A and B are shown apart, each in its own frame.
Chain A
Amino acid sequence: MRYAILLMGAPYSHQASHSALRFARALVARGHRLEAVFFYHDGVHNASRLAAPPQDEPHLMDAWTDLSREHEVALQVCIAAALRRGLLDEREAARHGKDGISVAAPFELTGLGQLIDLGTRCDRLVTFGP
């Protein structure tokens, strides 16, 4: 089956992102296709390339990146939610005159329409909230 995950919790503060990653790994291990993870609300913080957790703690951004590269999972971050929370890629940083970049590939800033599209074309969409 084709799955999508909607993630709305920030890493570390809530278990949502940890649960979502654990679920994502389990579903690909079972042979399903994970089309995309859509990050909305505080979930956009999972995309932060500036996160620097201690060595002995999970690094969610790296984990999502590895999952994406290994299983071709799109990592789609709601641009409106991201900008409000300081998650900007190179293009948005330039557009808004910011001298830092907090989001990079494979995470992509996209519109909410992508979430709706995922809901339509995937067999299952599972939400993880804080």
Chain B
Amino acid sequence: MLLHVVNRSPANSRVYEQALSGMGPDDVLLLIEDGVQGALPQLVRYYAEIEGRLFALREDLEARGLLGRCAESVQVVDVDGFVTLTEEAERTVSWY
């Protein structure tokens, strides 16, 4: 199981497509930095194919006033949870 990290919004970058094509059926994806915009209900559709395997970083949501505005299917984790995800995954691949 791999962890993928995306730091750009799907609204202005297509790197999310590359991340999705790199994902295997058990892999998970964490949105950080501007990438947390992808957790908004209007944008989470870009990640529809990985529903249930999508995470967003709490601190970056908070900084942007987006905490509480995430789509329900997105799992919010803090930086400690981010570290946990990297422990559980065999390796982490960053898409920026």
* Interface residues, chain A, with chain B CB atoms under 8 Å away: 1, 3, 15-16, 19, 22-23, 26-27, 29-30, 32, 124-130
* Interface residues, chain B, with chain A CB atoms under 8 Å away: 5, 7, 32-34, 59-60, 79-80, 82-84, 86-87, 91-94, 96
Closest to A1 in B: B87
A38 to chain B, nearest CB (A): 14
- Contact yes or no, B86 A124, CB < 8 A: yes
| B contact patch SS | helix
Closest 9 CB pairs of A and B: A129-B96, A127-B94, A26-B79, A15-B33, A27-B83, A126-B92, A26-B83, A30-B83, A22-B79
B81 to chain A, nearest CB (A): 9
Query: Can you list 30 A-B pairs with a CB-CB distance of less than 8 A?
Result: A3-B86, A15-B33, A16-B7, A19-B7, A19-B32, A19-B60, A22-B59, A22-B79, A23-B79, A23-B82, A23-B83, A26-B80, A26-B83, A27-B83, A27-B86, A30-B80, A124-B86, A124-B87, A124-B91, A125-B91, A125-B92, A126-B86, A126-B94, A127-B5, A127-B94, A127-B96, A128-B94, A129-B94, A129-B96, A130-B96
